[in-house]
Structure 1
Amino acid sequence: MDEEQFPEVQGGGSLILAWQIRNKRVLVVAAGRILNVLNADAKVTVVSPRDGLNKEVAYRIEKGQVDYVDRKFEPSDLDDVDMVLTAVDDPEASTQIWKLCKERKIAANIADVPPECDFYFGSVHRDGPLQIMVSTNGKGPRLANIVRRSIAEKLPENIGEAITKVGKLRQMLRKVAPKPEEGPKRMSWMIKVSDAYSLEDLCEMSEEDMETLLRFYAPDKVPRLGCLKAMEGELDAFDGSFGFCVGWG
């Protein structure tokens, strides 16, 4: 076997995942990255004496964005919890929470203590559905911010909106072709669409445009956007006369 065709293993990294925590229960002890988990639609509970709250956490509590328990952490707080974030200025208390999480097999992040973290947050750029995370595996958070900003500056301004449109088209396509065995064809056709249309085309595309475009899924064709708009309202009598402007991707 030719081993040169395979990439070399580079240990010491992390498995970077998009962790779906919608409606999962997240316990935050004292402060923490509350906004990160709220953006992921998690159900957040904050446990901390009121005099230990920072301004943002106090704001989230006042607005009812999180549940709040006004006292110090107790082991029973871990009941029915899926994730724990702590930022306690007490190393012994933090380690105790970490050990309890390990006993209960609950993923935890103990702020500023990399050995007591099941995961790291990294530095994230967000544009609608697009999320890009830069991680230094806990070694250089400030440098992660610098790298993230550099990447963000090079991204097209409309990339988030274009991704939103592609997501909407995929949802509509699944209604047109819902059968599991059509999965490969759906994927292949969506690749053609993504290759054929620019970001500007995708941003310009309306839901009516998408409905027209989906008429071409069955013959596995992708018309250019200008031709697509010209066809709207005329497809019921479509006889192939627009074939000159249909690309095969």
Structure 2
Amino acid sequence: MGGEKFPEVEGGGSLILAWQVKNKKVLVIGGGEVAAGRILNLLNADAKVVLISPRDGLNPEVAHRVEQKQIEYHDKKYEPSDLDDPAITMVMTAIDDPEASSRIWKLCKEKRIAANIADVPPECDFYFGSVHRDGPLQIMVSTNGNGPKMANIVRRRIAETLPSNIGEAIKKVGALRKKLRVLAPGDEQGPKRMKWMSKVCLQWSLEDLCDMTEQDMDDLLRNYGPDLIPTFEQLKLGESPDEWQFDGSFGWSCVI
């Protein structure tokens, strides 16, 4: 078709998504070390965590979450009726009982509840990767179950290449975008908003974005109407558009 080239299909991967579980009920079965990591991930995503596990099986970190009332806790062994709550949107098991885990998996399938059975890839609707977190920035590396340790190694290698203040810069960009949506609401403004924000990220350096204040944001937004982007230095000096002289150079770039 016209000699066009398209990407080759490479099967065997996973569809990596950012799953929004804020204020949604997630059931965790088991309270050991694996459960501790799962629970922390869920709390970081603002989920409502319900834990079922005998108290003598609680990891110290999990026990801390219980004591601080960060999660809803039931001191008991799992029962099939625990899945009857229609508000449960996800189930994660971390117990040392393969047969019980498989029964939970099958019941989740019957009820159409997404589930993750620890250490049993065939019985998982989703996997956990190795995640780097810096404020709003999250980067996940997955090996699709082939080598969790390798995922950690790759994730650390990626993190080492990132600027130490990239999380703060992203926060500032997010705050600027919110202000822009108030200034220029409506779907019809969408394309212009996107292009204007992209130009800001291309022209301003990472350090500029980190140093940007609320006043700088307001001053910068005055240039949205005429679709202009002053440099950080020009904004600070209060120069007018007819005083701007661009040299064609660009600083750090980001993707919105």
TM-score (norm 1): 0.93
Deviates more, 1:143-152 or 1:1-10: 1-10
Q: Among residues 134, 143, 149, which one is paired with 1:136 in the alignment?
A: 143
Q: Read off the aligned partner of 2:70 and give its amino acid letter.
A: Q
**CA offsets 1:121-155 (integer angstroms, 9 cap, x no match):** 10000000000000000110011000000000011
Please list, as runs of the form range in 1=range in 2, the aligned pairs for 1:93-112 lying within 5 A after superposition: 93-112=100-119
Q: Which residue of 1 aligns with 2:253?
A: none
Matches within 5 A, 1:87-166: 87-166=94-173
Task: Give the AA of the match of 1:158.
Answer: N
Conservation of the 8 A alpha-carbon contact between 1:221 and 1:246? no
Distance 2:210 2:30 in 1: 42
Q: Which residue of 2 aligns with 1:196?
A: 203
In the TM superposition, residue 185 of structure 1 has moved relative to its aligned partner by 0.4
| Residue number in structure 2 paired with 1:65 | 70
Runs of 4+ displaced beyond 4 Å: 246-249
Distance 1:132 1:189 in 2: 25
RMSD (Å) for aligned C-alpha atoms: 1.5
Residues of 1 paired with 2:129 and 2:151: CA distance? 7
Q: Which amino acid aligns with 2:196?
A: W
1:203-249 deviation digits (Å, cap 9, x = unpaired): 00001100010000010001011111222xxxxxxxx8442327698
Q: Is the 8 A contact 1:47 1:73 kept in 2?
A: yes
In the alignment, the residues of structure 2 paired with residue 132 and residue 112 of structure 1 have an alpha-carbon distance, to the nearest angstrom, of: 22
- Equivalent residue for 1:228, pick from 206, 225, 235: 235
1:13-69 superposed Cα distances (whole Å, 9 cap, x missing partner): 000111111111111001321100100000001001111111111111011110100
Hey, what's the Cα distance between the residues in 2 that align with 1:161 and 1:77? 41
Among the aligned pairs, what percent are the same residue? 67
Residues 1:2 and 1:141: Cα distance change in structure 2 (over 3 Å): farther
Count of aligned residue pairs for this structure pair: 241
Question: Using the alignment, how far apart are the partners of 1:2 and 1:102 within structure 2?
Answer: 45
Distance across 2 between alignment mates of 1:81 and 1:202: 40
CA contact (8 A) 1:227 1:242 kept: no
Q: Can you give the 5+ residue segments of structure 2 that lack an aligned partner in the other structure? A: 251-256
Where does residue 49 of structure 2 map in the other structure? 44
What secondary structure sits across from 1:222 in the alignment?
Answer: coil
Provide the rounded CA distance (Å) in 2 between the counterparts of 1:4 and 1:56. Answer: 55
The corresponding residue for 1:6 is 6
SS of residue paired to 2:41:
helix
Q: What is the identity, as a one-letter code, of the residue corresponding to 2:49?
A: V
Q: 1:17 maps to what in 2?
A: 17
DSSP-derived class of the 1:82 partner: strand
Asked whether the equivalents of residues 223 and 246 of structure 1 are also in contact (C-alpha less than 8 Å), the reply is no
Distance 1:58 1:245, change over 3 A: same
| Aligned equivalent of 2:221, options 208, 214, 234 | 214
Q: Which sections of structure 1, spanning at least 5 residues, go unmatched?
A: 232-239
Amino acid paired to 1:149: R
Q: Which amino acid aligns with 1:48?
A: S
Matched, 1:245 2:244: yes
CA distance in 2, matches of 1:139, 1:96: 25
Output the CA distance in 2 between the equivalents of 1:214 and 1:91: 58
The residue that corresponds to 2:254 in the other structure is none
Query: Residues 246, 208 of structure 1: CA spacing in aligned structure 2 closer, same or farther, 3 A cutoff?
Result: farther
Alpha-carbon distance between aligned partners in 1 of 2:240 and 2:94, rounded to the nearest angstrom: 66
